[in-house]
Amino acid sequence: MEVGNHTRVTEFLLAAISPTWQSQAILFVIFLLVYAATLVGNTLIMLTVGSDPRLRTPMYFLLGNLSFLDLCYSTVTAPKMLVDFLAEKRSISFEACMAQLFFLHFVGAAEMFLLTVMAYDRYVAICKPLHYPRIMNRQLCSWLVAASWTGGFIHSTVQTILTMRLPFCGPNKVDSFFCDVSPVIKLACTDIYVIELLMVSNSGLISTSCFIILVTSYATILVKIRSPEGRRKALNVCASHLAVVTLFFGPCIFIYAWPSSTFSKGKLVSVLYNINIITPMLNPLIYTLRNKDVKSAM
């Protein structure tokens, strides 16, 4: 396809994580184990929550949805990435790149919203225990989950449309090992500053706002608890949750909170995504497998 006097890019070349074959093979094994652990852990959580009547509560309903999102989130990029570890040419078609970009932001934003909903659920359960069954009923939980998916879809659609409307006429080497907005739009044959500002106002605002709400919610929980023993238990739970939340939101805020034209973020995106791909594996351990009810059900 011709764009002006230029030929439109039909495929992108992804960067290698490591320059040597030996290190690529080692990383392949490590990432394969991480991806396998993510699949097994989150699938086990979904099956357990769905099959045990004792776990049909708002909290476990939300946790089951989180496991499904984690499963989708890791599957968006991990299979292609594992193939590229063993390939000499790490190419991806334009259409597949846009699809990867779309689902990465779709599932990622939906998970941000869901984590915020889960923080609100814990706030109501601890700070307003007598009103919890009435407030967090199944209908409201279903609406909140649907709203999380809808918000993720709208966010991702905006990002993808803005990216696809840009002219790509070369070069086609993406400075990352997966397709994301920041490294892809830098290859456009036009000035992208305004587009970047629009994307920053979208992605950066969502990730930063959700993170602030999460931190505020957990801080309020700790302040509301009066007894030393209860505060100690709540601190233990909130600290582990905040650790995972920070691992998830930290890279997102760093990548999307300001235009990449201010400095080069290509390699940093890759490094930070290495952290982000670990989070779907940690979520089952932090949120569910430490729970006595879940372990008993298994």
Residue 259: which pLDDT band, with cuts at 50, 70 and 90?
low
Question: In the structure encoding, which two tokens stand for residue 185, read together?
Answer: 């739009």
Q: Determine how many CB atoms are found less than 10 A away from the CB of residue 213.
A: 15
Question: In this structure, are residues 238 and 193 in contact, taking their beta carbons and an 8 Å threshold?
Answer: no
Q: Determine how many CB atoms are found less than 10 A away from the CB of residue 27.
A: 17
Question: In this structure, are residues 259 and 204 in contact, taking their beta carbons and an 8 Å threshold?
Answer: no
- Rg of the chain, C-alpha, whole Å: 21
Closest-CA residue to 183 (of 11, 10, 15, 7) = 15
For range 14-34, the mean pLDDT: 83
Residue 30: which pLDDT band, with cuts at 50, 70 and 90?
confident
Instruction: List, in order, residues 6 or more apart from 21 with CB less than 8 Å away.
Output: none
Domains and their CATH numbers in the chain: 2-297 (1.20.1070.10)
Closest-CA residue to 158 (of 113, 203, 93) = 203
Question: In this structure, are residues 206 and 112 in contact, taking their beta carbons and an 8 Å threshold?
Answer: yes
For residue range 90-128, list pLDDT tens digits in order: 899 999 999 999 999 999 899 999 989 988 888 888 888
d(Cα 46, Cα 135) in Å, to the nearest integer? 24
Tracing tokens 């080692």 back to the chain, one arrives at 26
For residue 151, pLDDT beyond 90: yes
pLDDT score recorded for residue 273: 60
Distance of CA 141 to the CA centre of its chain: 21
Beta bridge partners, 27, equal none
Q: What are the angstrom distances between the C-alpha of 148 and each of 31, 127, 141, 143, 152?
A: 28, 23, 11, 9, 6
pLDDT score recorded for residue 17: 73
Closest-CA residue to 282 (of 242, 236, 234, 232) = 242
Q: Give the helix/strand (H/E) hosting 21.
A: helix 21-51
Q: What letter represents residue 18's amino acid?
A: S
For range 244-262, the mean pLDDT: 71
For residue range 152-174, list pLDDT tens digits in order: 999 999 989 989 988 888 788 88
Selected residue with higher pLDDT from 4 and 130: 130
Selected residue with higher pLDDT from 166 and 278: 166
